[in-house]
Amino acid sequence: MIKFFHPNKIFLITSRAPKYVFFLFIVVLSIGLTEALVLSPEDYKQGHSVRIMYVHVPAAWLSLGIFSTISILSFGIFIFKIKHFSLIAKSLAPSGFLFSIIALVTGSIWGKPTWGTWWAWDARITSMLILSLFYFIYLLSWKIFENKENVIKITSIIAILGLINVPIIKFSVDWWSTLHQASSVKILSKTSIHPSMLTPLIIMTAAFALFSLLIFLMKYNTEMIKNKNKGLDRL
């Protein structure tokens, strides 16, 4: 098990796995797009605009999931002093940021035919915008702070503070009266979405998750090469 987490092994995996993940991503995305745009039925109320759900919802789920993971890793950095977690968190952030932007923009596009407006300052949309800002500040901190010890501390604090926003996003539709609809897909109770719509949603979520894994592997590999470059400077 320890051998599996050896830097040499990790580097080999992050170097060679992306091409297989990329292939799998293209296959799953192709199936997902066919299901989402062609095979799935239109909604009896929203018509074809419901298809936006197949990019909006996976992007929102994954951006929340990735930020929660970054926050948990940041707790690990403070409590267990595992600095390596910062590299994992840093490599996860770019895809999480992109997903939060996709969720906001596609939500805005969906809002126009559904609510008659591109934007509303309601609790769900505003808290999602705050999540994007947390991602942006997190990534910006990695760019602007030079000292490694300081940047790890600062980014970890940002991620931990941002975690407060995660339950607010999740429960905003229950706590406040919002334009945004309540969740249709529930883990603990009965899902109110029809299987003909749930299937493409799950496939698109899998495709988005594979894309996130692909970006994570490539970014992690790049960060390891950057560290090696710094090592060469010290020789």
Give the whole-angstrom CA distance, residue 221 versus residue 216: 8
Residue 19 interacting with other proteins (CB under 8 A): no
CA atoms within 13 A on the CB side of 116: 0
**Applying CB under 8 A, which part among 72-80, 160-168, 193-201, 222-230 lies near other proteins?**
222-230
Residue closer to other proteins by CB (options 138, 211) is: 211
Classify residue 48 by its DSSP letter.
G
Mark residues 89-118: x for contact with other proteins by CB under 8 A, - for none: -----xx--x--xx--xx--xx-xx-----
Of the pair 114, 184, the CB lying nearest other proteins is at 114
Contact 66, 96 (CB under 8 A): yes
Span of 11-19, 65-73, 169-177, 189-197 interacting with other proteins by CB under 8 A? 11-19
47: left (phi over 0), alpha (psi -120 to 50) or beta: left
Which one, 77 or 131, has the nearer CB to other proteins?
131
Give the separation between CA 156 and CA 206, rounded to whole angstroms: 28
Q: Which stretch binds other proteins (CB under 8 A): 77-85, 129-137, 156-164, 213-221?
A: 213-221
52 contacts other proteins (rule: CB under 8 A): yes
Give the sign of the dihedral formed by CA 23, CA 102, CA 87, CA 84: negative
Report residue 146 as tokens. 């030079």
In sequence order, the 6+-apart residues with CB closer than 8 A to the CB of 90 are 142, 155, 219, 223
Binding site for other proteins (CB under 8 A): 7-8, 11-12, 15, 33, 36-38, 42, 47-49, 51-52, 55-56, 59, 94-95, 98, 101-102, 105-106, 109-110, 112-113, 211, 214-215, 218-219, 221-222, 224-226, 228-229, 232-233, 235
